[in-house]
Amino acid sequence: MGEHRAVVTGIGAVTPIGIGVEQMWEGVRRGQSAVKPISRFEPVGLRSRIAAQIESFDPLHYIHKKRAHRMDRYSQLAVSAGMLAMRDAALQPSSLEPERVGIFMGSALGGISFAEEQCGNYYSGGYRSVSPTLGFSVFGGAASCNMAMEFGFTGPNETNAMSCASGAVAIGRGMQAIRRGEADVVIAGGAEAPLAPLSFGAFDMLRAMSTRNDTPSSASRPFDRNRDGFVMGEGAAVLVIESESHAKARGARIYGEIAGFGLTNDAFHMSAPLPTGAEAARAIRLALASADMSADDIGYINAHGSSTLLNDVTESQVIRSVFGERPVAVSGTKGLYGHPLGASGAIEAAITLLSLAEGWLPPTTNLTEPDPEAAIDLVAGKPRHVKAEAAVSNSYGFGGVNAVLVIRRA
């Protein structure tokens, strides 16, 4: 039996620039950064004191009160994004065969922020002060397992922890499950809730985050000559992916297709990219091969563009090595919502799908002076109205993880 095509029929998002697919896309089109001084905790002694926070999220709008209170913020974000994606796809759980629906999620840190909070309770009040939900909230798999229980889906279930590439890895794994016929429908994406003192401070100690505390809205600036590090964010994004035959049989609206996936590892360093970018380039070529496409078929690249000194230059080198001198429009959207670690690849896949569907390629927010070392066709200042047929979305993570999605317009 031939492979099934994996098409996207629903998008759910809980992000600093908007909740729900319409609000998130409005946030992208508005082009205003959501980065502000951090208010989730008091950042005493930290070099970086800014973050992209979700200001108006209420899990009770999406999850029953009793269930929501058993989840930490990480799981609440994941399940809420899943609920929004199912609504957007016009799918009712009761209309699906439970064993034919898979759930694939990704997160860098899982429920570690909740564990951090409970450690404080333990040190101040002993065991009786610790939440009884700690044991089943802290592990990364809480995202996909809580979603399975919420919907009653019993198909393949997995949450990976491949750092900042994990959302893209989850979508790639979901695509593979559809292609192989292991599921008719897959819910796939990423979730992250890292804004807690120790988790945030760990990255601050690495000196990887921006210290542009006086002008937070301009702090996350991918590919800009004056970038000084990434800005941590939070959020979740989930896609409903169906086999094309399943989607067409129910008359579903199709955003686009997850056409290819590539995954490699630098095997070089825990926090720095391989200087040659060879393995990141190979991930793009693997994704193109799995989509049965060539570099010439790609009209847009949504870059990882973390706004760190090393990553942006290396990624530019990778893009040039794969696509050569042919200009391919590139934008990095983390200038809008910072870097929500494991959720970023899923948020960017959603934005890429919408960009292709609308023929509207977003500019790179805060890119005022492109780094001359980048030397790629950066979308800056204003959007481009281009009907690209296919796009690449890059995601890179600590440990040298390189995950690439190829997305085709419907």
Q: Which residues pair with 393 in a beta bridge?
A: 302, 405
Any idea which residues carry the catalytic annotation? 164, 304, 339
CA-closest candidate to residue 364, choices 377, 381, 387: 381
Phi and psi angles of residue 310, each rounded to the nearest 5 degrees, phi first: -75, -45
Q: What tokens appear for 276 in the block?
A: 């040659």
243-277 burial, b if ≥16 CB within 10 A, otherwise e? bbebbeeeebebbbbbbbbbbbbbeeeeeebbeeb
* Residue 325 burial (C-beta neighbours within 10 Å; 0-12, 13-18, 19+): exposed
